[in-house]
């Protein structure tokens, strides 16, 4: 599967920006892999390929990490997956449009671990802020900019 074409990998099980991704990737004629543990209804397009993996722990993450390259964009909110994809040189975006970078991933991993500990001990009960229209707009801009940057490489 490794090649020189730009592709988009979507960690799809809880991704709120799938439709936005299809639109932007389609405008650029870029193939999107929608990777999940369960089948989901997707738009019919030769540029959208569904990958349903086994229900095993991190199966979707493993498939994405094993198949992405430095020419690809990965869309995920999963920090350990983002770290793995950054190590192969992929551009990694969160659904809120924030780009994971090699400079920021260490702090994000540490904060994830701290928040997990605080939730486990009952110190905090919430998880993430609600997804907003501004997040969606930021994502659209970030994806467009990331694709343009990859095309210039």
- pTM of structure: 0.85
Tokens 């983002």, residue? 82
Position 95 scores a pLDDT of 95
User: For residue range 65-121, what is the model confidence (pLDDT) as tens digits?
Assistant: 999 999 999 999 999 999 999 999 999 999 999 999 977 765 565 565 555 656 667
The pLDDT score that the predictor gives to residue 91 is 97
Please identify, in words, the CATH class of the domain defined by 7-101+132-152: alpha beta
Domain ranges for the chain: 7-101+132-152
Which residue's entry shows tokens 């198949």?
67
CA distance 103 to 40: 34
State residue 80's pLDDT score. Answer: 92
pLDDT at 122: 73
């Amino acid at each position: 599967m490794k090649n020189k074409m730009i592709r988009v990998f979507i960690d799809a099980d809880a991704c709120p920006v799938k439709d936005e991704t299809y639109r932007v990737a389609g405008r650029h004629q870029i193939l999107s892999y929608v990777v999940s543990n369960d089948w989901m209804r997707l738009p019919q397009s030769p540029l959208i390929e569904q990958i349903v993996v086994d229900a095993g722990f991190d199966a979707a993450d493993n498939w994405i990490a094993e198949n992405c390259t430095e020419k690809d964009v990965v869309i995920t909110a999963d920090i350990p997956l983002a770290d793995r994809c950054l190590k192969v040189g992929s551009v990694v975006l969160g659904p809120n449009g924030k780009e994971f970078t090699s400079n920021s991933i260490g702090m994000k991993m540490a904060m994830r671990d701290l928040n997990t500990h605080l939730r486990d001990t009952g110190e905090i009960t919430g998880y993430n802020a609600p997804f907003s229209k501004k997040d969606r707009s930021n994502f659209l801009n970030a994806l467009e900019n990331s694709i343009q940057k990859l095309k210039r490489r």
